[in-house]
């Protein structure tokens, strides 16, 4: 097409029907193609190129929550990009990732040079921790002030995430104010945490009814009074977008009716379940929840094992019942040195999901199998290598036990990535010797990452990555002052 014909189009056609559909990279090509294009688009160059520049700027250490949010006001394209990052930060996948590492490895008090923006996003999201009544009062007053200038209250929830305490009506403002806040802003919330300080199951469901668009629901509490099943609604609250359910920090001896109610109405749609062993204690009821027909979309499962309330046999019997489900990621966590499971118990669980499991996270140290157990299991099973297991994460102490090397030899011969987590000091010599042995044991292994968290000696976390081509990279974290 001749330039004369191109520029004969009305400016409105270019502005509203052509340029909005041009990518930043193509836009850059256009303005560099000839002086005529460059002069014509001079006023729009900044907005057109900003989406291309922002991802680079966001990696710089000078980024603050204030500067990050200021970019939203530059243009519609920049606002869309920033809002997309905020939404992704509180997505179900990121939520699962954030709880799926050893807690000592990272916090907002350190800066990861490869993920600096994470600190910024955490600081922004922390503003919506409204569990303290004073913070909730201040935020609602801010919403009221913004409303007088024409700003919708929902627009102030930038991450669409909020944390609230729940108490019974007799606690006055501590019950009424969170309820009032949700009645005003609940429709715009996609991630919510309810910390139940005092109340029954029906009260939790009542609060939940104010957030029909929630995608990530976390329930915490130790003092919930268990409502009888008959008192719970016959129909579940409509939560058609719910993807992740976290009840790992919800503990009480009367909680199973509420568990059952939540899973009964939402188990068919959730893709991620984070729970504790309490769900498995009442085996007759748990078997009705955890079976091949109830959780068809479940892909990620994290179970926090409590050695004081969970019998090992319950896990051995209950978890494999999910074997027909296409679970891709399983994590077992035990915050105690009381060893409950043997290596073969863990292998039994792995075998149940051998056709779909791609990442296994084992943050506990099972006891080594006896010679008799090894012989028995080898005779009953062929112990085939997991065909799709390409990623394995384990605590550093596991590398000192024979079961770890046995499991690698029998189950993990197709691994591509191995993550080793811990806080204790490890010498460079020991690390090099270990990574050489690991690369020598697994022919498909491409990367080994050593994750070191906060140590008792006050050491700063770091990460060291070894690759199969002999390269090594150290990521040292630095201290960070929260804004």
Question: Among 42-56, 296-310, 396-410, which is the least confidently predicted range?
Answer: 42-56
Give the pLDDT score at 229.
Answer: 47
Q: Would residue 215 count as lying in a domain?
A: yes
CA–CA distance, 87 with 317 (Å, rounded to integer): 38
Cβ count within 10 A of residue 469: 6
Cα-based torsion angle of the residue sequence 19, 24, 29, 33 in order, rounded to the nearest 10 degrees: 40
Q: Output the DSSP codes for 431-481.
A: HHHHHHHHHHH-TT--EEEEEE---TT-PPPEEEEEETTS-EEEEE-EE--
* C-alpha R_g of the chain: 26
Q: Contact 349/320 with Cβ under 8 angstroms?
A: yes
Residue that terminates a domain, selected from 14, 36, 64: 64
Residues of 445-460 as b/e, b for ≥16 C-beta within 10 angstroms?
A: bebbbbbbbbeeeeee
Q: Would residue 219 count as lying in a domain?
A: yes
CA–CA distance, 168 with 123 (Å, rounded to integer): 30
Per the DSSP assignment, residues forming a β-bridge with 218 are: 193, 246
Which residues span the domain enclosing 44? Answer: 3-64
CA–CA distance, 432 with 417 (Å, rounded to integer): 16
Query: How does pLDDT run across 269-304, given as a tens digit for each residue?
Result: 899 999 887 776 654 555 666 666 778 888 999 988
CA–CA distance, 204 with 233 (Å, rounded to integer): 12
Q: Two tokens at 179?
A: 């309820």
pLDDT band at 375 (very low <50, low <70, confident <90, very high): very low
Both 163 and 271 in one domain: the answer is yes
Q: Which residue has the tokens 């460079």?
A: 428
Q: Two tokens at 346?
A: 């863990």
Residue 29 pLDDT > 70, yes or no? yes
Q: Contact 141/156 with Cβ under 8 angstroms?
A: no
Q: Two tokens at 430?
A: 């020991």
Q: Would residue 329 count as lying in a domain?
A: no
Give the pLDDT score at 352.
Answer: 86
Strands (E), 122-267: 161-166, 191-196, 199-200, 216-221, 224-225, 244-250
Residue 86 pLDDT > 60, yes or no? yes
Q: Would residue 343 count as lying in a domain?
A: no
Higher pLDDT: 154 or 283? It is: 154
Strands (E), 298-356: 300-305, 329-334
Most confident of 141-155, 156-170, 372-386, 442-456: 156-170
Residue that terminates a domain, selected from 22, 37, 64: 64
Residue 54 pLDDT > 80, yes or no? no
Q: Would residue 396 count as lying in a domain?
A: no
**pLDDT (average), residues 329-343:** 74
Q: Would residue 209 count as lying in a domain?
A: yes
CA–CA distance, 280 with 341 (Å, rounded to integer): 15
Q: Would residue 236 count as lying in a domain?
A: yes
Query: How does pLDDT run across 197-251, given as a tens digit for each residue?
Result: 888 778 888 899 999 999 999 999 875 665 554 455 656 678 889 999 998 888 7
Tally the C-alpha atoms within 13 A of residue 320's C-alpha that lie toward its C-beta: 14
**pLDDT (average), residues 43-62:** 63
Q: Would residue 440 count as lying in a domain?
A: no
Percent of the chain residues topping a pLDDT of 90: 25
Per the DSSP assignment, residues forming a β-bridge with 333 are: 304, 363
Most confident of 278-282, 349-353, 388-392: 388-392
Q: Two tokens at 16?
A: 């509203």
Give how many domains the chain has, as a whole number: 2
Residue that terminates a domain, selected from 64, 81, 109: 64
CA–CA distance, 119 with 121 (Å, rounded to integer): 5
CA–CA distance, 263 with 294 (Å, rounded to integer): 8
Give the pLDDT score at 109.
Answer: 55
- Residue of 245, 173, 167, 255 lying closest to 206 (CA atoms): 167
Report strand pairing: 472-476 vs 391-395.
unpaired
pLDDT band at 105 (very low <50, low <70, confident <90, very high): low
**pLDDT (average), residues 58-69:** 77
């Amino acid at each position: 097409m001749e330039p004369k014909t191109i520029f004969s189009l009305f400016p409105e056609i270019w502005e509203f029907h052509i340029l909005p559909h041009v990518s930043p990279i193509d836009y850059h090509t256009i303005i560099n193609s000839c002086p005529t294009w460059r002069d014509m688009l001079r006023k729009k160059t900044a907005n057109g190129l900003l989406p291309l520049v922002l991802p680079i700027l966001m990696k710089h250490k000078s980024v603050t929550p204030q500067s990050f949010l200021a970019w939203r006001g530059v243009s519609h394209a920049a606002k869309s990009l920033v809002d997309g990052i905020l939404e992704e930060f509180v997505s179900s996948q990121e939520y699962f990732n954030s709880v799926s590492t050893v807690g000592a490895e990272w916090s907002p008090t350190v800066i990861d040079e490869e993920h600096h923006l994470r600190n910024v996003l955490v600081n922004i999201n922390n503003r919506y921790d409204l569990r303290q009544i004073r913070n909730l009062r201040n935020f609602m007053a801010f919403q009221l002030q913004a409303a007088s200038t024409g700003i919708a209250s929902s627009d102030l929830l930038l991450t669409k995430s909020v944390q609230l305490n729940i108490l019974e009506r007799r606690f006055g403002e501590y019950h009424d104010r969170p309820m009032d806040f949700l009645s005003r802003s609940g429709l715009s919330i996609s991630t919510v945490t309810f910390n139940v300080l005092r109340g029954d199951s029906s009260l939790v469901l009542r609060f939940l009814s104010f957030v029909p668009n929630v995608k990530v629901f976390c329930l915490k509490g130790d003092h919930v009074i268990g409502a009888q099943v008959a008192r719970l609604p016959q129909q579940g609250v409509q939560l058609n977008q719910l993807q992740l359910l976290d009840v790992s920090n919800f503990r009480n001896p009367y909680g199973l009716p509420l568990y059952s109610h939540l899973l009964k109405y939402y188990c068919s749609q959730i893709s991620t379940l984070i729970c504790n062993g309490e769900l498995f204690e009442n085996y007759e009821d748990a078997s009705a929840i955890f079976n091949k027909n109830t959780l068809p979309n479940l892909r990620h499962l994290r179970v926090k094992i409590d050695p004081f309330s969970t019998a090992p046999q319950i896990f051995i019997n209950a978890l494999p019942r999910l074997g027909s489900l296409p679970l891709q990621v399983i994590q077992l966590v035990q915050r105690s040195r009381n060893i409950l499971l043997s290596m073969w118990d863990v292998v039994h669980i792995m075998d149940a999901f051998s056709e779909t499991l791609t990442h296994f996270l084992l943050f506990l140290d099972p006891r080594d199998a006896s010679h008799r157990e090894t012989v028995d299991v080898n005779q009953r099973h062929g112990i085939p290598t997991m065909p799709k297991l390409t990623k394995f994460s384990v605590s550093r102490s596991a590398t000192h036990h024979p079961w770890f090397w046995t499991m690698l030899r029998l189950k993990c011969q197709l691994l591509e990535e191995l993550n080793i987590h811990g806080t204790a000091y490890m010498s460079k010599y020991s690390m090099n010797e270990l990574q050489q042995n690991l690369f020598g044991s697994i022919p498909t292994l491409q990367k080994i990452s050593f994750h070191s968290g906060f140590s008792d000696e006050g050491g700063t976390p770091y990460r060291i990555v070894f690759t199969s081509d002999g390269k090594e990279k150290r990521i040292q974290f630095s201290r960070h002052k929260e804004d």
